[in-house]
Amino acid sequence: MTAPTTAPHPGAGPAAERNGVTVAVDGTDAGLRAARWAADEAAARGGPLTLVHAAPYAAGSAGSLRAHASRILARAYTVAHRHAPDVPAHTVLLDQDPLAALVETSRETARLGGLLVLGLAGTGHAGDALVGSLALDLVSRAHGPVVVVPRTGNPGGPVVAAVGDPVAELGVLTQAHRAAARRGVRLEVVHAAHSASEGADTRDALERVLQTLALARPEVVASVEVVRERPYEAVVERSGSAGLLVVGPGRGHRHLLGSITRTAIRLAGCPVLVAIPEPGSPDEAR
């Protein structure tokens, strides 16, 4: 089904559909960049696209502000439709605080097997910390996978997965393998080793996991690279030529992200999939 050529009037929901992609837009170029990426992802999944704008509005001035929100959604819809005209899409206005609304939306996208996407403005410099605060706060509280789009990367490039412990981060490998299959690209798994012996053991473990994953998706060509660089240096360096970087949340407990994840979100040269465990997955029970 082809999406309508004009933006539909924004509804109150749902903000997620089964196997769909939901993208949060805010009127910025970063939001439009995320909308284009999300449209491509929806096309790859064969699912629908939902464009969401979330903001609280005071009762006395709701009319003009809602009109502004509708224009934000209409522009994002137009950009997404022109980029992927065959993807069915609709717009949703959430009259809530952005963080609270998107955390709840992440619960729904995860439950329905979908994905939440968020743009990130900035140049990668230290001064961009405030710009990225919503993305970091959302990812740290999300209930399922989230993609942050700081830069477009190389759309035809490989999926790069940064993995520490193959057992603890099985979800990272699984989601990365699935993403590579959808895109028809190779999967490159990178592990930063502390020592030669640890690197050899981890390589063996990663290759065994990839062999198991290949039983379901044998078309994916995968490789393992063990490096002795600092983990964040290896991640950022390889993201420049990648189409997607996949990392785990790396948090010890809720609301904390690992340093590699924070670095990836702020400095990666391509979209970053934070592979938060999906509901009912073995990783979620850890």
Tens-level pLDDT at each residue, the chain (286 residues): 455 555 666 665 678 899 999 999 998 999 999 999 999 999 999 999 999 999 886 444 556 777 888 899 999 999 999 999 999 999 999 888 899 999 999 999 999 999 999 998 654 443 333 335 788 889 999 999 999 999 989 989 999 999 988 888 899 999 999 999 999 999 999 998 888 888 899 999 999 999 999 999 999 999 999 988 777 788 888 898 999 999 998 764 445 567 888 888 888 999 999 999 866 655 543 4
What's the predicted TM-score (pTM) here?
0.88
Read off the tokens for 110.
Answer: 């995860």
Q: Which of 39, 40, 9, 83 is nearest to 183 (CA)?
A: 40
Distance from C-alpha of 16 to C-alpha of 170, rounded to nearest angstrom: 26
Residues 6+ apart with CB under 8 A from 185: 156, 157, 158, 159, 243
Read off the tokens for 253.
Answer: 């407990």
DSSP secondary structure of 197-260: HHHHHHHHHHHHHHHHHHTT-TT--EEEEEE-S-HHHHHHHHHTT-SEEEE----SSTT---HH
**CB neighbours of residue 53 within 10 Å:** 23
Read off the tokens for 13.
Answer: 């929901």
User: Phi and psi of 246, rounded to 5°?
Assistant: -115, 125
pLDDT in tens, 10-57: 665 678 899 999 999 998 999 999 999 999 999 999 999 999 999 886
